[in-house]
Amino acid sequence: MTTAIRPQPTLVASWFHALADETRINIVEMLSHKERCVCELEQVLDIAQSRLSFHIKVLKDAGLIADRKEGRWVFYGLQRETLDQIAAYTKSVKPGKHAGSCAVACCD
Domain that holds residue 18: 9-93
Q: For the whole model, what pTM was predicted?
A: 0.82
CATH number of 78's domain: 1.10.10.10
Residue 15 or residue 98, greater confidence: 15
Q: Within a domain: residue 98?
A: no
Q: Within a domain: residue 36?
A: yes
Q: State how many domains the chain has.
A: 1
Residue 96 is predicted with a pLDDT of 66
Q: Within a domain: residue 104?
A: no
pLDDT bracket for residue 103 (50, 70, 90): low
Residue 104 is predicted with a pLDDT of 52
Convert the chain into a string of H (helix), E (strand) and C (coil): CCCCCCCCHHHHHHHHHHCCCHHHHHHHHHHCCCCEEHHHHHHHHCCCHHHHHHHHHHHHHCCCEEEEEECCEEEEEECHHHHHHHHHHHHHCCCCCCCCCHHHCCCC
Q: Within a domain: residue 70?
A: yes
Q: Within a domain: residue 85?
A: yes
Q: What is the pLDDT of residues 41-95, one digit of tens each?
A: 999 999 999 999 999 999 999 999 999 999 999 999 999 999 999 999 998 887 7
